[in-house]
């Protein structure tokens, strides 16, 4: 197969360089001289031909040629023409060729005017063509940036998506409609126009959308919500119109809009009221979804991790009326996801994916894919032929706690403080019935500010927590500060994160979960965003009085102070065991669950 020639901008620069060289070669060396010097050069026979114009005299050194006019002169002497009646006689006296014709020949005119013009026109045409291909040309600004992906190019079906069984069941109905629409239209059923995939980042919303297109075998339009928004007014709405025109022409098909929240944010929240470009684009999207013909076969899939900020008009029946939760995978689903990503990896026979899944509660599908890749990279770095369980352990520590800081050396006092701090966490977790089991203790600095960590391994996925479990979770968080206070009779800044998390739990118990007698069964705080795992920020409304706020603060402090007393009592009773484990931890710098259990078993 012949290689297709592609024009490059570098060819234009090469042509320009050649043109400049030719011009320099063809152009004579110009010397501006006085009239007296000009006549002396004629007398010395340096000038063999002279062109007489109305204002100038141009003298040439003629090269060896048969042409009357010197095409390639060696030098050019130029002087202003003055009124000298004897000039012609003077030139004839010394045998100089006198040329009265215009010296600008067709070739020189071509080289000096036409070629440069063609050159710059070529550059302009080339740049406009490239801008048009990139979607930035003026004629393509209103065109949709959606990528049309054929079913054969996707290579994704439901077998490629591990877990999310409930979401796949919901989407199977869409696939069946796209394959056999007459089955639904026979009884007058209408397929939902819009389906919104809602879930935390990395849970596989985009992958599910591709799987739907792969299973149904129809064209798949993929675009991000931010691709509609431009600085030019009206472009977003034009792109929405163009996208739906293409979709109607390709029906049946699937239109997938990723990150819908960047386009569908509630109107009236912008700085320019209801007239900014984003809101015009949203209005056009709403109008286009209303204009769809019933059962034509165009299904709109969208994904977002911030459904709470979407405009209510988007979520009403007739638009995105079906919402499918794509949540974080549970234990069974994590095992399946790990199996999918480990297919092409050479695993040691001792690697148990279920143990790894138990150690990764809250991990999304993207997190698990990253975990497998990190473990494989560690094995390659160590020169191993297979990925062993130790690489997975290191990869989990790296993802959860951060990169190990081998160059961050703690002095003996700090190292001892961290050892007792982490041992305090672990011991309190051991002597609390509902606390998660200790899996690993380390005093090796990791990440940005972590000087050590205690990792606990949940026995199962939990969706509800009792008041006792929350209180004992606070106990474990306060164990580090209590251990410092008992052993050193001093406290450090190392418990800052522990105290913050303990305070958040206590405040939620008092003001959100109704677990306080004085404040009663009332919720004073709104539920935090479950997908982003953070509150509503500075703009969260305060829905209680200052007196209630003061009471909340007092009750939160009472909970923390009461639990701190209980934790100190526990560690005081287990002081010998605290000392023993801390000394071993100082020597080894890390203890796994088996080593910790052995030490606790000896001391109890």
28 is in an annotated binding site: no
For the chain, give the longest Cα–Cα distance: 130
70 is in an annotated binding site: no
**Buried b vs exposed e over 528-538: b needs ≥16 C-beta within 10 Å?**
ebebeeeeeee
From the centroid of its chain, how far is CA 213? 24
307 is in an annotated binding site: no
361 is in an annotated binding site: no
Interatomic CA distance for residues 295 and 182, integer angstroms: 10
**Buried b vs exposed e over 217-253: b needs ≥16 C-beta within 10 Å?**
bbbbbbbbbebbbbeeeebbbbbbbbbbebbbebbbb
165 is in an annotated binding site: no
Annotated active-site residue 568? The verdict is no
281 is in an annotated binding site: no
Interatomic CA distance for residues 265 and 260, integer angstroms: 8
Residues 39-42: contacts with CB within 8 Å, 24+ apart? 39/90, 41/77, 42/90, 42/91, 42/94, 42/96
The CA angle 162-168-174, to the nearest 5 degrees, is 145
152 is in an annotated binding site: no
- From the candidates 333, 422, 436, 568, which is the catalytic residue? 422
Interatomic CA distance for residues 525 and 544, integer angstroms: 9
Integer distance in angstroms from the first to the last C-alpha of the chain? 79
Q: Which residue matches tokens 């912008």?
A: 270
570 is in an annotated binding site: no
261 neighbors 311 (Cβ within 8 angstroms)? no
Residue 440's φ and ψ, nearest 5 degrees, are: -160, 145
Q: Which of 477, 498, 455 is nearest to 359 (CA)?
A: 455
Task: For residue 371, give Cα distances in angstroms to 326, 345, 396, 568.
Answer: 20, 12, 7, 37
Interatomic CA distance for residues 587 and 599, integer angstroms: 14
Residues 378-387: contacts with CB within 8 Å, 24+ apart? 385/346, 386/346, 386/347, 386/348, 387/345, 387/346, 387/347, 387/348, 387/351
192 is in an annotated binding site: no
From the centroid of its chain, how far is CA 182? 41
Contacts of 520 (CB under 8 A, 6+ apart): 514
199 is in an annotated binding site: yes
Collapsing DSSP to helix, strand or coil, 554 comes out as helix
236 neighbors 278 (Cβ within 8 angstroms)? yes
Interatomic CA distance for residues 300 and 193, integer angstroms: 6
Q: Burial-class residue 587 by CB neighbours within 10 Å (0-12, 13-18, 19+).
A: exposed
128 neighbors 137 (Cβ within 8 angstroms)? yes
Pairing mode, strands 49-52 and 56-60: antiparallel
DSSP 143: S
Active site residues: 422
Q: Binding site, residues?
A: 199-206, 421, 425, 498
Q: Binding site for Zn(2+), residues?
A: 421, 425, 498
Q: Binding site for ATP, residues?
A: 199-206
């Amino acid at each position: 197969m012949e290689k297709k020639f592609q024009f490059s901008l570098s060819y234009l620069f090469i042509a320009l360089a050649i043109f400049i060289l030719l011009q320099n070669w063809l152009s004579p060396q110009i010397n501006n001289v006085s009239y007296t010097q000009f006549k002396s050069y004629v007398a010395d026979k340096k000038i063999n031909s002279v062109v007489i114009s109305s204002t100038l005299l141009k003298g040439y050194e003629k090269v060896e040629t048969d042409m009357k006019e010197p095409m390639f002169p060696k030098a050019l002497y130029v002087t202003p023409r003055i009124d000298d009646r004897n000039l012609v006689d003077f030139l004839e006296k010394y045998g100089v060729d006198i040329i009265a014709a215009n010296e600008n020949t067709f070739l020189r005119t071509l080289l000096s005017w036409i070629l440069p013009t063609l050159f710059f026109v070529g550059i302009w045409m080339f740049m406009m063509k490239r801008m048009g291909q990139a979607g930035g040309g003026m004629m393509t600004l209103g065109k949709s940036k959606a990528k049309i992906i054929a079913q054969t190019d996707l290579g994704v079906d439901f077998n490629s998506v591990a877990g999310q069984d409930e979401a796949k069941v919901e989407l199977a109905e869409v696939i069946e409609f796209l394959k056999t629409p007459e089955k639904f239209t026979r009884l007058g059923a209408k397929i939902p126009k819009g389906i919104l995939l809602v879930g935390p980042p990395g849970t596989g919303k985009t992958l599910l959308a591709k799987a739907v297109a792969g299973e149904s075998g129809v064209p798949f339009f993929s675009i991000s919500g931010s691709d509609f928004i431009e600085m030019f007014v009206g472009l977003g709405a034009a792109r929405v119109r163009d996208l739906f025109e293409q979709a109607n022409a390709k029906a049946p098909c699937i239109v997938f809009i990723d990150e819908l929240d960047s386009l569908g944010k509630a109107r009236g929240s912008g700085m320019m009221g209801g007239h900014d470009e984003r809101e015009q684009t949203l209005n056009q999207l709403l109008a286009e979804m209303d204009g769809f013909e019933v059962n034509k076969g165009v299904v709109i899939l969208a994904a977002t991790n911030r459904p709470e900020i979407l405009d209510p008009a988007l979520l009403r029946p007739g638009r995105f009326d079906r919402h499918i939760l794509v949540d974080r995978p549970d234990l069974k689903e994590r095992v399946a996801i790990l199996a999918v990503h480990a297919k092409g990896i050479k695993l040691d026979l001792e690697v148990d994916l279920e143990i790894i899944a138990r150690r990764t509660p809250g991990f999304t599908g993207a997190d698990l894919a990253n975990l497998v890749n990190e473990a494989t990279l560690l094995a390659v770095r160590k020169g191993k032929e297979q990925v062993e369980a130790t690489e997975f352990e290191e990869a989990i520590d790296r993802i959860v706690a951060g990169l190990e800081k081998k160059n961050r050396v703690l002095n003996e006092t700090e190292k001892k403080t961290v050892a007792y701090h982490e041992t305090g966490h672990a011991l309190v977790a051991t002597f609390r019935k509902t606390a998660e089991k200790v899996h690993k203790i380390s005093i090796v600095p990791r990440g940005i500010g972590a000087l050590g960590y205690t990792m606990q391994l949940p026995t199962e996925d939990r969706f509800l927590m009792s008041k006792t479990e929350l209180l004992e979770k606070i106990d474990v968080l306060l164990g580090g500060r209590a251990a410092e206070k008992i052993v050193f009779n001093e406290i450090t800044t190392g418990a800052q994160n522990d105290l913050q998390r303990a305070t958040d739990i206590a405040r939620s118990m008092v003001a959100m979960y109704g677990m306080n007698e004085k404040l009663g069964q009332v919720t004073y705080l709104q539920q935090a965003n479950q997908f982003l795992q953070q509150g509503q920020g500075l703009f969260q409304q305060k829905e209680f009085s200052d007196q209630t706020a003061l009471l909340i603060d007092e009750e939160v402090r009472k909970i923390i102070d009461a639990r701190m007393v209980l934790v100190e009592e526990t560690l005081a009773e287990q002081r010998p065991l605290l000392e023993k484990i801390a000394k071993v931890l100082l020597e080894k710098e890390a203890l796994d669950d088996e080593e910790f259990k052995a030490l606790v078993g000896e001391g109890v």
